[in-house]
A and B are shown apart, each in its own frame.
Chain A
């Protein structure tokens, strides 16, 4: 093993010593070995070129310990909620008892202790995202989270919310991992909520692993919010789709600090379909990085990515998207589009779309644009009586909405548009 150099890595090494005997030793060891090869990535690591994690992290905050806080958490939508607070699954704050037939949930800690082979192999999630050091670090240090299994054929109407929250008043590091397995033909809606209840600069590293068996269908909405200037949030999404499986996902990213959302998806069966859309609302000094790899491994897959970055103040957006079409993944149909709207002189966007195609009968395209509000559109709206700021808000909202079109759940769509409106009304009022 390469000797770890920096203070950051020495601290992380002590975290690993603390976690290595807490279940899944092989998964943790593999993660640690992989992480150790590169350490905390700096700008010289190509996939982290636009996000200097090493500098931002400095010395890692202490590993979170279970908080005893008896909280009452407000509900933003009508869902069944499973809460992981300060790195620990909290049954007392969760709706475990109310889960419908066909849904089994347990804490990650319990699942690791039981060591069920099916769960263990799903957690490792083949080698998806294997090259990423921070995802590997998550595997090495995972403290807790949730494991959900949805029975084959089950159709779960009510959304299941996985809320991963930080409440500590002092800076802390959390490493959480959730696993959602959908059996053959199962259907479900999952809300991934990543947020902060305090203003302490947390360093959160979360992973959501999705395994969709043949014909399974998942609607996923992720909402990343909160955070303060010095906070770091790295949220990874790993999706493995079998034959004919469908994932339709949308993420809303807001808040402050350094935010990186990584999506690693593999369409590993014929006719799988994936939608990964997202809207980022950048304000203050938010650094919002979206890094995405969609890997078409089998024929006739379809993938769609619509990304909208709305960047105000000194916020910075990053989009690194790669669509891979492997040899034999014929008839793949992939469209990836990233558009950024810069609302201030200091805001910046980095777009890096890529295609890697090794099959000859495919349809793949990508587009990336970056611009300001359109003067013609603004004049048109103001000439109809909308004051300048309201006209801007309407255009920004329209721009954000384009990534939300595919959301099927009307209640969730309303929740998300309300968040966008709230963000915009703060802009109008200042």
Chain B
């Protein structure tokens, strides 16, 4: 599904990713864990195509296709979805209006017919109900004045509607209480399928109790330092990241 080879990325003058290599197979849930400031969010931005995050070498392939030259919207319609760590507030744009515009833009780009309003409404309502999102929130401007938990749920709602092939969850657990965390995790788990891959970026093992990863990757100093199974997350929870930071220094 996703293949990242020796990726180097600079933001401004600073190199953040320093030769990162990672493979995620279809159906896999890959957890990326690591200390603050090691480039986890940068990785998510580069995959999604954010301006100003320029790859200086290496490649990122989605199902064999190099995506680094594609616009963010093109990547989205090819199935890449980024659940933001800090979802952006968009005043004046009703959530429902945005959802429909996004969904239909992707469908147009893929040459699929646009979804008509009744079918669209049905899908949104079902997704909202399963995530405990009140109907009136969908009429409000997108994320404007939403609590942290509401914003994260809205990210999962969008993921459910857009049905991506590769979903990147950037610290989706931050700022969530235990109930909200469960709702969000249930939403993610419901979407797991052999055709879909997830990259779950997190600091803490806690989220991974609810979303069981297939693989765990330790990221530090702009690289994947170690990969393993779910047991690696437990080890990190116990020992912290000191080994990897020390290793880099040595």
Contacts and interface: CB of A to CB of B under 8 A. Distances in A.
A390 B105 contact: yes
Nearest to B77: A385
A386 B105 contact: yes
A383 B72 contact: yes
Interface stretch (A222-230, A268-276, A374-382): A374-382
A217 B118 CA distance: 38
A104 to B, nearest CB: 40
Q: Is the interface of A mostly helix, strand, loop or mixed?
A: helix
B102 interface: yes
A423 interface: no
A402 B91 CA distance: 8
Contacts of A401: 92-93
Contacts of A398: 90-93, 141
A394 interface: yes
B202 to A, nearest CB: 20
Contacts of B82: 383
Given A380-B84, A384-B76, A385-B73, A397 B109 contact: no
B158 A379 contact: no
Interface stretch (B43-51, B193-201, B230-238): B43-51
A383 B92 contact: no
Contacts of B109: 385, 387
A385 B92 contact: no
A390 B105 CA distance: 9
B102 A381 contact: yes
A268 to B, nearest CB: 33
Contacts of B60: none
B91 A385 contact: no
Contacts of B105: 384-387, 390
A375 B51 contact: yes
A53 interface: no
Contact of A390 (B90, B97, B101): B101
A321 to B, nearest CB: 21
A380 B158 contact: no
A402 B109 CA distance: 30
Nearest to B106: A385
Interface in A355-404: 374-377, 379-388, 390-391, 394-395, 397-402
B93 A382 contact: no
A35 B48 CA distance: 61
B148 to A, nearest CB: 16
Interface string B50-77: 1100000000000000000001110111
A380 B88 contact: yes
Contacts of A380: 84, 87-88, 90
A376 B105 CA distance: 19
A380 to B, nearest CB: 4
Contacts of B77: 385
A383 B48 contact: yes
Contacts of A399: 91-92
Q: Which of A375, A380, A388, A395 has the most CB of B within 10 A?
A: A380
- Give the top 8 A-B pairs by smallest Cβ distance, nearest first: A398-B92, A385-B76, A398-B93, A385-B106, A382-B72, A384-B102, A380-B88, A401-B92
Given A384-B98, A402-B92, 9 more contacts: A384-B76, A386-B73, A386-B102, A390-B101, A394-B98, A397-B92, A398-B91, A400-B92, A401-B92
17 contacts: A377-B90, A379-B51, A381-B90, A383-B50, A384-B76, A384-B162, A385-B77, A385-B105, A386-B101, A386-B102, A387-B105, A394-B90, A394-B93, A394-B98, A394-B101, A397-B92, A398-B90
